[in-house]
Amino acid sequence: MKKGKQIYEGKAKKIYETDDKSLYIQEFKDDATAFDATKRGTIKEKGVVNNKISTIMFKLLEQKGVKTHFVKLLSDREMLVKRLHIVPVEVTIRNVVAGGMAKMLGLKEGIKLKEPVLEYHYKNDALHDPLFNEYHIRALDLATDKELGIIKDYSFKVNEVMKDFFSAKGLDLIDFKLEFGRHEGEILLGDEISPDTCRLWDRNTQKKMDKDRFRRDLGQIEETYQEVLRRVED
């Protein structure tokens, strides 16, 4: 597969064309950002870790019936993916109060929710990805009812699969972010699944095992990412 022109660079990844118009190469970077990129830094080997973890998770989810953009692992930092037209709706699933939910509702982090909470956020960095709902999505024609149904079903399925998977690795899945896109008329899960997009706490110590270590200056950032990879691969 020939690597072509770079067509996009985001906060954590670069996207390249290939000689197949339906496929892209997704390259993971070591760059780290937080708070809408007002905080910037580098996490050594983060790109390698996130690429490998995402590969494992995408393969698992495909086996469980969730269709994704993943095709195959190409290198330590690159994966081949299906070309997506991204739906500008980010989905957050929350199992435990943390982060934005704690701040928005004035709740203490660590409260276990009675059932998972699904949030929709308008994918717009300039507006800080504001929370909105299905009525906004339909009114703005961002997705059809059928597409929203698939996105919702996939999101809860991902939560079910990942909670069990991470639990077996001694990790609690606190919350996570998902992105979806259209590929040849079909909704697929895209982006990545990694400590950048998931909050993971150690089951026994409640140590934060994700990008909160960078956001909150908790230290041991590289070591923690490597530890998550080790557990996921074990």
**Is residue 195 left, alpha or beta, with left meaning phi > 0 and alpha meaning psi from -120 to 50?**
alpha
In this predicted structure, the answer to whether residue 38 has a pLDDT above a threshold of 90 is no
| Torsion from C-alpha of 66, 54, 28, 50, nearest 10 degrees | 150
Amino acid at 155: S
The structure's pTM equals 0.96
Q: Provide the edge-to-edge strand list for the sheet that holds 3-9.
A: 3-9, 13-18, 23-28, 78-82, 70-73
In this predicted structure, the answer to whether residue 37 has a pLDDT above a threshold of 80 is no
Asked if 11 and 37 touch (Cβ cutoff 8 Å), the reply is yes
Question: What local confidence, expressed as pLDDT, does residue 39 receive?
Answer: 87
Q: Whole-number mean pLDDT of the chain?
A: 97
The string of pLDDT tens digits covering residues 62-92 is 999 999 999 999 999 999 999 999 999 999 9
In this predicted structure, the answer to whether residue 176 has a pLDDT above a threshold of 90 is yes
| Residues 6+ away with beta carbon under 8 Å from 68 | 58, 61, 62, 188, 189, 190
Which one-letter DSSP state was computed for residue 25? Answer: E
- Measured from the Cβ of residue 60, the count of other Cβ atoms closer than 10 Å reads 18
Percentage of the chain beyond pLDDT 90 is: 95
Q: What is the mean pLDDT of residues 126-153?
A: 97
- Residue in this structure with the two tokens 């928005």, named with its chain if needed: 104
In this predicted structure, the answer to whether residue 36 has a pLDDT above a threshold of 80 is no
Domains in the chain, CATH or no CATH each: 3-82 (3.30.200.20), 87-221 (3.30.470.20)
Report residue 167's pLDDT band, with 50, 70 and 90 as the boundaries. Answer: very high
Closest CA to 232 of 173, 157, 155, 150: 173
The string of pLDDT tens digits covering residues 216-233 is 999 999 999 999 999 999
- Quote the CA–CA distance of 66 and 94 in Å, as a whole number: 19
